[in-house]
Amino acid sequence: MSMGKSLCVAALALAFAGAASAADHPGLGKPVSETDLAVWDISIGPDGKGLPPGSGTPAQGATIFAQKCEACHGKEGIGGSNAALANAPGKNERTMALYVPNATTLFDFIRRAMPWPQPKSLANDEVYALTAYILARNKVIGDNDTMNAETLPKVQMPNRNGFVSRYPDKH
Amino acid sequence: MTSKQVTRAPDAPDVARNGLLDRRALLGRGIAIAGAVGTGASLTSAAAEPLPVDPWSLGPGSNLPPYGQPMKYEDKVVRTLTNPKFEPRTSQARTPHHLLNGTITPAGLHFVVARTGFPDIDPAKHRLAIHGLVKQPLVYDLDALSRYPMTSQIHFVECGGNSAPLYNKDPVQANVQAIHGLLSGSEWTGVRLSTLLEETGIDPKGKWLLAEGADGPSMNRSIPIAKALDDAMIALYQNGERIRPEQGYPMRLLVPGYEGNMNVKWLHRIKLIEEPVMAINETMQYTYRVAGPKIWQFFFPMEVKSFVTHPSPGLTLKGPGYYEISGLAYSGNGRIAKVMVSADGGQSWGQAALDAPVLSKALTRFRMPWRWDGQPVVLQSRAWDEAGNVQPTREQMFAERGEPKINVPVTAFPMGHMNVITSWAVDGKGELKHVYG
């Protein structure tokens, strides 16, 4: 390799390094720790990663549901103005508990978005209890099962394998 | 002062049945076509009355407002709302495509789907955090992002459930706003997401990112890292001004061509993750049951589609003669390559003219000169994109997805990503209605 060519390669390497260096970027983002982001980081993976401490049972959830959810979702999750969360006798609809592939989705959505007028107002125990209540109303879990960070990701959802990616080449 | 010479033109040749004319008639031959109006009407009859000097020509006008508004006579050009009393449920607002032209939707008429209305975000307090599988988690405020290199891109945003009424068993009697109104086009200006991810660095295990809003329900979606690094943007401006509150003020994620719900509004957090979080909006919603036991998930790009906006239901034709058929075509997979128009329910087709520039993942306006003879016709359009995708017929789509079996209101979503051909029937009186061609 001639000296000229090796210099050229070195210059090229430097150029690439420079393109990714902080000097070429505004660098105006402020470093933040995951600890400082903890109250924002409410997303829960299907494996249960991110689930907080706490627990709840269907019986506890029934009481909370009557107080905070019934107005929109109907008595025991039936006949409300918004999404039915359980099937009326003789009905066989795909309610959320019978449709989504992971039980963690119920916990995540209830915690971040419900009740509609006061999202994020529920304590973690209340979210576990409501999740347990809805799962039990759909006979996905037993009436005496307790939901917590250990048990929730292990719930066998009836539609666990019902989904296929429409465009697998895109991810 | 010059006056244009108006001459009687030779008839433009028909390119398809029921009066579709050669699209080249639109290029520099507008006068000639105008001369042919009414097929035989004499030019002198058009200027029968002397023209008065109107009052607005005889005095000063009105003072200039600091922020201009549409003319008062245009007060019917508004979105339709599904939840005007703001009850505790999702609200939708649809764009009136039959009352607009061109390809840019005015920001105030951009469609909206919002779970709990729009939040009142103080731009000085808003923060965007990028964390998770990155080398250095970073937080940006609006002032900081405003100093970054920006790009302006024209793109459509379309709800994954737009055009869902076409999956009804019988043709819903509704106009283009009700059927196709969850679609809008804008110029978006902002910072490429890849620019910010270069600053945080990416852990190779980070194959997806979670995008989350600062709205009450913290709307969230999982997005493949490939899209984030390709053309995703943190949009700060819409049509030149700061993003409207319903569109995500002060910032939204823009993933061009991907279904609307993924363009997360009021964006405040991006977390790099290994696997999708299976959020409610990618499991319970924006997934579609098709023929057989499977449910499609991660639909992402909005497939090639077109529809006629002019004329369309509500825009009654005023007698036989010359009209322009025009509409919108777009694809989440690139540029529109071709739009064909039919006036006989799809038996014969003529190629429409496309307004330049034809941009990738953007609304494209197509136009077709037409001389209506007053007889009943069925108008259709069909689009092709540069990736080779063709807008499907109803039969083609239902062969894969199953036949529609029920009728639901236009606000329900029995199917998503409905890009089949739309048909408008014109009756002998010039009135239009939705039919299955």
pLDDT tens digit sequence for A1-25: 344 444 344 433 333 333 345 568 8
Q: Distance (Å) from the C-alpha of residue A146 to the closest C-alpha of chain B?
A: 22
pLDDT of the residue at B49: 87
B 195-254 residues inside an 8 A Cβ radius of A: 195-196, 198-200, 207-208, 210, 212, 216-218, 220, 224, 226-227
pLDDT of the residue at A9: 40
pLDDT of the residue at B30: 47
B 323-382 residues inside an 8 A Cβ radius of A: none
Inter-chain touch B88–A163, beta carbons under 8 Å: no
Inter-chain touch A119–B277, beta carbons under 8 Å: no
pLDDT of the residue at A23: 66
Query: Average pLDDT, whole number, for chain A?
Result: 89
Pick from A37, A116, A162: which is nearest to B129 by CB?
A: A37
Give tens-digit pLDDT for B9-31. 446 678 999 999 998 877 654 44
pLDDT of the residue at B437: 85
The three-state DSSP-derived secondary structure of chain B is CCCCCCCCCCCCCEEECCCEECHHHHCCCHHHHHHCCCCCCCHHHHHCCCCCCCHHHCCCCCCCCCCCCCCHHHCCCCCEECCCCCCCCCEEEECCHHHCCCCCCCHHHCCEEECCCCCCCCCCCCEEEEEECCCCCEEEEHHHHCCCCCEEEEEEEECCCCCHHHHCCCCCCCCHHHHHCCEEEEEEEEEEHHHHHHHHCCCCCCCEEEEEECCCCCCEEEEEHHHHHHCCEEEEEECCEECCHHHCCCCEEECCCECHHHCCCCEEEEEEECCCCCCHHHCCCCCEECCCCCEEECCCECCCEEEEEECCCCCCCCCCEEEEEEEEEECCCCCEEEEEEECECCCCCEECEECCCCCCCCCEEEEEEEEECCCCEEEEEEEEECCCCECCCHHHHHHHHCCCCCCCCCCCCCCCCCCCCCEEEECCCCCEEEECC
Inter-chain touch A170–B148, beta carbons under 8 Å: no
Pick from A28, A96, A117: which is nearest to B284 by CB?
A: A96
Q: Residue A163: its chain B contacts at CB < 8 A?
A: 283, 287, 294-297
Query: How many residue contacts between A and B have a Cβ separation below 8 Å?
Result: 156
Averaged over successive runs of 10 residues, the pLDDT of chain B (437 residues) comes to 39 86 73 44 60 97 97 98 97 98 98 98 98 98 98 98 97 98 98 98 97 98 98 98 98 98 98 97 94 88 98 97 98 98 97 98 98 98 98 95 93 93 98 96
pLDDT of the residue at B267: 98
